[in-house]
């Protein structure tokens, strides 16, 4: 049964045109976890308070005097607002940084070294009494600020930008947070009742996202079990992938005036799907590329692309012919009906685990040899069982794909909704403006 908050979400959304959050065009020199733009507040919403962050939050310091024979829970703040999580439990004598502080449940904890990447969050109840070094700062709200509202506010672009611009250094990975500067930035805060209503709505959205993520995780575990049973158990005889496909066959002959598909390594997702299919003229591609045709199966040669599952079944190419990175191995099925069966083998975790043992080259340039793929041992069942196994695993992939689409939709909607609620562009007409 839905809560009152969840029942009212649709009504709240119908009251405004909520669109996914838009990011300005142009590539960024910073990683996705960083929001480097200049923090700018819009017009102050009617009835809200605009004041420095220091009017709402204050640092707290609870010195922990470490005892060698006592054990202490250490925590860390994950990047991209990933929350506060356990790190290790150590005896006092094993904690090298002796300047430690206790944190309490519902402290807002900031990593001074990683806050430019969004490493902050509320301390959960199960980590009450943990210790952190002076590389962290814990803050408590003053009157007029709801903790759950603060948690959501920390996900806003404006909040992240204030953190970035309160950090100094010459490299994004070595910035140091200046808490005294950050506390001077102004924020817009609604009355307490509106804060709680906003937090209720965004909490409900987070529950829907978490539920979908849990379903995806469960479906992936189920698919892993199906893969083990369908691909790695049974079979009339012990075979090899090389029995089903030619490894790195001669590329297709294509006229220089022909238009063909071009597939770079970054056009292949980590779930084995071609996510880009760029048509180019053969004469514009140049030499030194791997050629393949429809129903070939690609396998990345290099780490970490191989370890992350880059590769998969090629289908729907422009003109049926494609060229791509030389860092792909090409598997051409002897029977095109085996393409999906081979695809699921090369996407399986067991394939990658075994491949890592056969890699050659230096640490930064390790490669999987073609001989490993050709000799990779598989139980070789009859053609009908191969087709059935591929169909079952395709259906499992489709289920996961639909859930991933739903997760993206929910995430985009929540991001757009959050932007409107936290900026005051969308007001909650069903509640009073003040307590």
Q: Which residues contact 319 (CB under 8 A, 6 or more apart)?
A: 258, 259, 260, 261
Rounded CA-CA distance 342/134 in Å is 53
Rounded CA-CA distance 291/330 in Å is 8
Q: Which residues contact 274 (CB under 8 A, 6 or more apart)?
A: 263, 267, 268, 312, 314, 315, 316
**Contact by Cβ (8 Å): 354, 346:** no
Residue of 73, 172, 178 whose CA lies nearest to 123: 73
The packing angle between helices 192-231 and 349-357, to 10°, is 70
Q: Where are the domains of the chain?
A: 1-30+192-221+389-435, 32-189, 237-380
Q: Which residues contact 98 (CB under 8 A, 6 or more apart)?
A: 66
- The three state secondary structure string of 101-124 is EECCCCCEEEECCCHHHCCEEECC
φ, ψ of residue 239 to 5 degrees: the values are -120, -170
Quick one: pLDDT at residue 28?
56
Segment (H or E) for 86: strand 83-91
Quick one: pLDDT at residue 221?
96
**Contact by Cβ (8 Å): 131, 64:** yes
Rounded CA-CA distance 297/273 in Å is 11
| Collapsed DSSP state (helix, strand, coil) of residue 29 | coil
* Tens-place pLDDT, residues 20-35: 333 333 445 678 888 8
Give me the tens of pLDDT residue by residue for the chain, a chain 435 residues long: 444 434 443 433 333 333 333 333 344 567 888 888 899 999 999 999 999 999 999 999 999 999 999 999 999 999 998 999 999 999 999 999 989 999 999 999 999 999 999 999 999 999 999 999 999 999 999 888 999 999 999 999 999 999 999 999 888 888 889 999 999 999 999 999 999 999 999 999 999 999 999 999 999 999 999 999 999 876 667 899 999 999 999 888 888 788 888 888 888 877 777 766 778 887 777 777 888 999 999 998 888 888 888 888 888 887 788 888 888 999 999 999 999 999 999 999 889 888 888 888 876 678 899 999 999 999 888 899 999 999 999 999 999 999 999 999 999 999 999 999 999 999 876 444 433
Give yes or no on whether 32-189 and 237-380 have one common fold. yes
Query: What's the angle, vertex CA 180, arms to CA 175 and CA 184, rounded to 5?
Result: 110
Rounded CA-CA distance 198/196 in Å is 5
**Contact by Cβ (8 Å): 324, 292:** yes
Residue of 299, 297, 308, 380 whose CA lies nearest to 339: 297
Work out whether the CA dihedral 165, 167, 168, 174 comes out positive or negative.
Answer: negative
| Collapsed DSSP state (helix, strand, coil) of residue 79 | coil
Cis peptide, bond prior to residue 304, ω within 30 of zero: yes
Quick one: pLDDT at residue 13?
39
**Contact by Cβ (8 Å): 407, 216:** yes
Q: Return the CATH superfamily for domain 32-189.
A: DNA methylase specificity domains (3.90.220.20)
CATH of 237-380, one of 3.40.50.1220, 2.40.50.100, 3.90.220.20, 3.40.50.1970: 3.90.220.20
Quick one: pLDDT at residue 166?
95
**Contact by Cβ (8 Å): 290, 326:** yes
The packing angle between helices 339-347 and 349-357, to 10°, is 60
**Contact by Cβ (8 Å): 273, 316:** no
Segment (H or E) for 328: strand 328-333
Rounded CA-CA distance 317/319 in Å is 6
φ, ψ of residue 321 to 5 degrees: the values are -130, 140
DSSP E strand stretches across 19-70:
49-52, 57-60, 63-64
With b meaning 16 or more CB within 10 Å and e meaning fewer, what string describes 89-101? ebebeebeeeebb
Strand partners, 91: 71
φ, ψ of residue 374 to 5 degrees: the values are -60, -40
The pTM assigned to this predicted structure is 0.80
Quick one: pLDDT at residue 4?
40
Quick one: pLDDT at residue 147?
93
Quick one: pLDDT at residue 326?
87
Segment (H or E) for 374: helix 370-375
Quick one: pLDDT at residue 6?
40
φ, ψ of residue 30 to 5 degrees: the values are -105, 155
Rounded CA-CA distance 116/174 in Å is 10
Rounded CA-CA distance 152/43 in Å is 20
Quick one: pLDDT at residue 68?
95
Work out whether the CA dihedral 148, 150, 151, 152 comes out positive or negative.
Answer: positive
């Amino acid at each position: 049964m839905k809560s009152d908050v969840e029942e009212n979400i649709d009504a709240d959304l119908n009251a405004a045109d909520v669109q996914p959050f838009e990011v300005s065009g142009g590539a960024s020199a910073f990683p996705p976890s960083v929001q480097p733009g200049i923090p700018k507040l819009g017009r102050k919403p009617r009835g809200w308070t605009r004041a420095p962050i220091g009017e709402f939050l204050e640092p707290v310091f609870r010195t922990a005097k470490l005892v060698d024979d006592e054990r202490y829970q250490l925590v860390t703040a994950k990047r991209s607002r990933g929350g506060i999580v356990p790190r290790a439990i150590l005896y006092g004598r094993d904690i090298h940084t002796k300047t430690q502080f206790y944190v309490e449940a519902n402290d807002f904890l900031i990593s001074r070294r990683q806050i430019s990447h969004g490493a902050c969050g509320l301390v959960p109840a199960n980590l009450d009494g943990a210790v952190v070094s002076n590389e962290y700062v814990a803050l408590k709200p003053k009157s007029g600020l709801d903790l759950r509202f603060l948690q959501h506010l920390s996900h806003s672009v404006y909040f992240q930008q204030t953190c970035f611009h309160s950090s100094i250094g010459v490299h994004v990975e070595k910035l140091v947070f200046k808490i005294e500067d950050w506390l001077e930035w102004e924020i817009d805060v609604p009355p307490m009742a509106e804060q709680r209503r906003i937090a209720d709505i965004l909490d409900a959205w987070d529950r829907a996202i978490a539920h979908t993520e849990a379903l995806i995780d469960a479906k992936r575990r189920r698919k892993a079990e199906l893969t083990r049973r369908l691909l790695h158990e049974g079979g009339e005889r012990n075979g090899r992938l090389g029995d089903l496909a030619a490894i790195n066959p001669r590329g297709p002959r294509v006229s220089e005036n022909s238009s063909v598909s071009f597939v770079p390594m970054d056009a292949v997702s980590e779930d084995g799907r071609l996510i880009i299919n760029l048509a180019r003229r053969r004469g514009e591609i140049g030499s030194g590329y791997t050629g393949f045709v429809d129903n070939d199966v690609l396998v990345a040669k290099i780490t970490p692309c191989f370890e992350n599952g880059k590769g998969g079944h090629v289908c729907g190419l422009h003109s049926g012919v494609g060229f791509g990175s030389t860092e792909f191995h090409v598997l051409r099925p002897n029977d095109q009906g085996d393409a999906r069966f081979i695809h699921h083998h090369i996407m399986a975790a067991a394939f990658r685990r075994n491949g890592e043992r056969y890699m050659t080259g230096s640490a930064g340039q390790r490669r999987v040899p073609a001989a490993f793929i050709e000799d990779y041992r598989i139980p070789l069942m009859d053609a009908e069982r191969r087709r059935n196994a591929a169909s079952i695993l395709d259906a499992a992939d489709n289920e996961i794909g639909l859930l991933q689409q739903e997760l993206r939709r929910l995430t985009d909607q929540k991001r757009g909704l959050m932007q409107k609620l936290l900026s005051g562009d969308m007001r909650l007409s069903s509640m009073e403006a003040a307590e």
